[in-house]
Amino acid sequence: MNFLKFAFFCFAASVFAGPLLINQLGFNPESEKFALVPGSDANDAEIRDMDGKTILKIKAPLVYDWNYSGEEVQTYDFSSIKTPGVYRLYRGGEYLGNPIIIDNHAYENLTKAALKWFYFQRVSAPVDYQYGGKWMRASGHPDDKVIVYGTDESTKKGYEEATGKKAPKELKVISSPKGWYDAGDYGKYIVNSGITVFTLLELYENFSSYMDTLSWNIPREYKNYPAILEEVRYNLDWMLSVQDNDGGVYHKVTTLAFGGPVMPEKDGAPRYAILKSLTATLDFAATMAQASVVYKKFDKAYAEKCLKASELAYAWAKKNPKALYKQPSDVETGNYTHSGEDAKDEFRWASAELYRATKKANYLKELKENPFTNNGAWWGDVNMLAVFRVALDEAFPKDVKDAAKKVMMNEANNLRAVGDSSGYHLPAFDWSWNWGSNSAMANNAMVLLHAYLLTKDKSYVDGAQQVLDYLIGKNPMEISYVTGFGFRSPRKPHHRPSQCDLVDDPVPGMLVGGPHLGKQDINLDGKDAWKCPNYASSEKPALAYLDDECSYATNEVAINWNAPLAYVAGALQAIYQGISPSVKK
């Protein structure tokens, strides 16, 4: 693009006439391309290039209500424009909003940044200037001397209350370095690592020919690995360190309470490996089984190590089917549990991954005895991860595959129907508007993309495109929810390094949690001065967002939110480039 021409055009063009809600990064030539205009004053429009030449005329669209924001909106479809370039949408001779960009590689830098953020989250290592630039930082949390919770005098009472067992007599310390900081805080959690690692490895498995060639600026220890597998191994190594000799896996490595807003090297409170749990152990088993398949091509010894750890963990889970995590009274960090938890979904996922990795009959038997549900994916329900695995892998018998395909396609078709009838064309259910709503949207897009991998029906790609459009600008807040990307993006995420590093710009590539009406961080009674003002007074979930460090409910970041962002952006880029998916149906 000729920048001087663009700048002159901005100043010389007609008066700006209002918002245009669009994907702020741009569109691939082959993608579905929608722009939204709030309001009911439907008028004809036209798309002009930067020389002012009319490229497309669009008739006045229908007006739709969107309940999640309380708006009337109208959609302009310019999918027929396939020539890369920069354009404007005009109505009545005046242009709306920001420029429209069409680019063959619109999502490649986004994919790289979403993946590189995991490097910025590395524990026990510095972010060096040559890799992190102005976001460099010192190493934090060596975690080479982590106390096993309940074995020191200060936590024995809490251990006994939580487990109903007598605390061990001797102090136990383990070495548990590496891994990723889970979110805006400095904890490391197995449950959340499980779905995160799955999603990143799934991106590699589904699009290996694309990911084999994609690289970004991170330190390389295993130079025969693709970059994504280098990064994922950094977390897998930590996960392996929290498996006990009996196969059980500690739920998390954290301090007893959340630390304050300081850089990681300043957070010096004792770190604990806190309680072995059923869900953590099964998530570990599933992840390690998947890793054993993926890494076998590059590192046979490491793959075998992962598989051995996986089978040992699964055996522990079978022996301890009631060992659900209970948060001790003296522990305040994230508990990663939910009401109604029974671990059936974790058993389902682990047995599916282990059967693929080993072909052992007992895992298939247990998978068949634990039928798929219709539940979508989040850390608290990993049923859909098992569905993805079985539906798209030739290792499974036809009857089990058919059951998985039915669940997946039913969910995908429901999502597409919602998107087609939605004012914002967003494939979202009512339950999608919860803590981490942006992640729920991205996980919905993953369902649609898996349906595409199964059927090659481009309508599912279109649905995923609408999700990505929403995340990076086509939303009522007129913001890209990814730091550093788009015309407007979050400036004050709830992320300790970004809050404390004295750099004006937040670490780039982070997907913030997004709007919802949970109000967990709002100062409703006026007594909690450190909480946020009531930004959700409208009672519309799509408007309940605040770009402020206080808003941990809407503006925090998390590894399990960035992973599906990376999957969706990377998958769409690969598909539009015509790169064949790597699935064995």
User: In this predicted model, what pLDDT tens digit does every residue of 434-469 receive, in sequence order?
Assistant: 999 999 999 999 999 999 999 999 999 999 999 999
Q: CA 288, CA 225: separation in Å to the nearest integer?
A: 17
Alpha helices in 472-507, H assignment, sequence order: 496-500
Q: Bridge-partner residues for 96, per DSSP?
A: 89
Q: Which two tokens stand for residue 105?
A: 């590689």
Catalytic, 49? Answer: no
- Residue 509 Ramachandran class (φ > 0 left, ψ -120 to 50 alpha, else beta): left
Binned at pLDDT 50, 70 and 90, residue 579 comes out as confident
Q: Which two tokens stand for residue 251?
A: 């739920």
- Is 51's pLDDT higher than 90? yes
Contact at 8 Å (CB) between 481 and 438? yes
Contact at 8 Å (CB) between 260 and 212? no
Catalytic, 556? Answer: yes
CA 248 to chain centre: 26
Binned at pLDDT 50, 70 and 90, residue 5 comes out as very low
For residue 162, give the H/E element and its range.
helix 156-163
> For the chain, what are the domain ranges?
3-102, 107-139+427-585, 141-337
First to last CA, the chain: 42
Q: Which two tokens stand for residue 416?
A: 């597409």
Q: CA 182, CA 196: separation in Å to the nearest integer?
A: 10
CATH 2.60.40.10 fits 3-102, yes or no: yes
Q: CA 468, CA 176: separation in Å to the nearest integer?
A: 36
For residue 465, give the H/E element and its range.
helix 458-471
- Is 583's pLDDT higher than 90? no
**251 closest CA partner among 314, 326, 181:** 326
Classify domain 141-337 at the CATH topology level. Glycosyltransferase (1.50.10)
Buried b (16+ CB within 10 A) or exposed e, 46-79: bbbebeeeeebebeebeebebebbebbbbbbebe
Q: Which is the catalytic residue, given 205, 547, 548, 549?
A: 547
- Is 421's pLDDT higher than 90? yes
Q: Which is the catalytic residue, given 494, 516, 521, 549?
A: 494
The pLDDT assigned to 16 comes to 46
3-state secondary structure of 486: coil
Other beta carbons less than 10 A from residue 450's beta carbon:
26
CA 306 to chain centre: 24
Other beta carbons less than 10 A from residue 488's beta carbon:
13
The reply to whether the predicted model has a pTM over 0.75 is yes
- Is 17's pLDDT higher than 80? no
Sheet containing strand 188-189, edge to edge, reads 173-174, 146-148, 272-276, 250-254, 188-189
Buried b (16+ CB within 10 A) or exposed e, 531-562: bbeebbeeebbbbbbbbbbbbbbbbbbbbbbb
Q: CA 112, CA 120: separation in Å to the nearest integer?
A: 13
3-state secondary structure of 490: coil
Catalytic, 494? Answer: yes
In the block, residue with structure tokens 């391309």: 33
Length of the chain (residues): 585
- Report the 3 state secondary structure along 174-203: ECCCCCECCECCCCEEHHHHHHHHHHHHHH
At residue 382's C-alpha, the angle toward residues 225 and 294, to 5°, is 20
- Is 133's pLDDT higher than 80? yes
Classify domain 107-139+427-585 at the CATH topology level. Glycosyltransferase (1.50.10)
Chain segment 377-412, per-residue pLDDT in tens: 999 999 999 999 999 999 999 999 999 999 999 999
For residue 99, give the H/E element and its range.
strand 94-102
107-139+427-585 shares its CATH topology with 141-337: yes
Chain segment 149-201, per-residue pLDDT in tens: 999 999 999 999 999 999 999 999 999 999 999 999 999 999 999 999 999 99
The helix-helix angle for 398-420 and 383-391 (nearest 10°) equals 110
Q: Which two tokens stand for residue 216?
A: 């970004």
Amino acid code (one letter) for 326: K
- Is 11's pLDDT higher than 90? no
Interval 551-565 mean pLDDT: 98
For 338-411, strand residue ranges (E) read none
At residue 252's C-alpha, the angle toward residues 554 and 204, to 5°, is 70
The DSSP call for residue 14 is P
Contact at 8 Å (CB) between 372 and 384? no
**30 closest CA partner among 580, 456, 573, 447:** 573
In the block, residue with structure tokens 């330190």: 219
Chain segment 266-324, per-residue pLDDT in tens: 999 999 999 999 999 999 999 999 999 999 999 999 999 999 999 999 999 999 999 99
